[in-house]
Amino acid sequence: MRVLKTVLVLAVFALATAFTINTTKKGYEVGDVVEDFSLKNIDGKNVSLKDFKKAKGVILVFTCNHCPYSKMYEERIIALDKKYKDLGYPVVAINPNDPIASPGDDFESMKKRAKEKGFTFPYLFDKGQTVYPKFGATRTPHVFILNKIKKKDMVVSYIGAIDNNARDASAVSEEYVADAIDTLLAGKKLTTTKTKAIGCSIKVQ
């Protein structure tokens, strides 16, 4: 009887612990359907996921102006957009930083940076920082590949880095995002759905 009691207590404890871990989960996981958002683009017009009617998905990149890792990837993000926009996966960039906490990441500076670098994609401002927490983005750059299913729902298919060498594009041996999109275009299941990289923390006040 005593043993049974112990087992029961342990089981309850294990369940409670498991529940706690589940409830503290932060942001979308691979497989989750994304809630649409509406954020202001550098051209002054709001952009939502539902605007991409013909797209097969979206390469969503949380990035910013000031972070050196974001800067190292600017050219590669432009290249991804140029290559995959016509194939159905356009890039949408979002600056998640609070402009007071992160000087240089304000809306005017975003416009300037996008012009200087020749961004070919929307560069949205997460005003009030309401969108990035839903995704569980923690750093810049931080990529979420969204894949459209049933012609409407955007599902998270990949979370992570753009490739495996930030500092030296010529030394990249794994192009995580490009490989994932190629796999999705081929109608196959992704084998790598999560990767990690160093980046700048998202700045809050």
Partner 1 sequence: MKKLNPFYLVVFMFLFSCGKEIKKEKQQNPTANIESNVAPVVKKETPLIATYDYNSLAPLLNKKGDKTYIVNFWATWCKPCVDELPAFEKINENFKDKNVEVLLVSLDFPNQVESQLLPFIKERNIKSEVVLFDDPNQNVWINKIDSTWTGALPATIIYTKDKRAFYEQSFDYDLLLKELQTFIK
Which residues lie near partner 1 (CB under 8 A)?
Answer: 68, 102, 138-139, 142, 160-161, 164-168, 171, 174, 195-203
Torsion angle defined by CA atoms of residues 56, 92, 31 and 67, in that order, rounded to the nearest 10 degrees: 150
- Angle among Cα 151, 193, 59 to the nearest 5 degrees reads 50
Closer residue to partner 1 (CB): 186 or 198: 198
Buried b or exposed e, range 106-119, using 16+ CB within 10 angstroms: beebbbebbeeeeb
**Least spacing, CB of residue 61 vs partner 1, in Å:** 15
Least separation in angstroms between CB 184 and partner 1: 20
Cβ–Cβ < 8 Å for 125, 107: yes
In the complex with partner 1, the residue whose CB is nearer, 116 or 174, is 174
Closest approach, Cβ 80 to partner 1, in A, equals 18
Q: Which of 136, 137, 155 is nearest to 146 (CA)?
A: 155
Instruction: Please state, in angstroms and rounded to a whole number, the distance separating the CA atoms of residues 14 and 73.
Output: 43
Q: How far is the CB of 201 from partner 1 (least distance, A)?
A: 4
Q: Which is nearer to partner 1, 56 or 139 (CB)?
A: 139
Q: In terms of CB distance, is 51 or 106 closer to partner 1?
A: 106
Minimum CB separation of residue 149 from partner 1 in Å reads 26
For the chain, state the CA radius of gyration.
Answer: 19
What is the spatial distance between Cα 107 and Cα 129, in angstroms, rounded to a whole number? 13
Decide whether 148 or 203 has the Cβ nearer to partner 1: 203
Measured from the CB atom, is 166 or 181 closer to partner 1? Answer: 166
The least distance separating partner 1 from the CB of residue 142, rounded to whole angstroms, comes to 8
Q: What is the DSSP letter of 119?
A: -
Cα gap 160→148, rounded to integer Å: 18
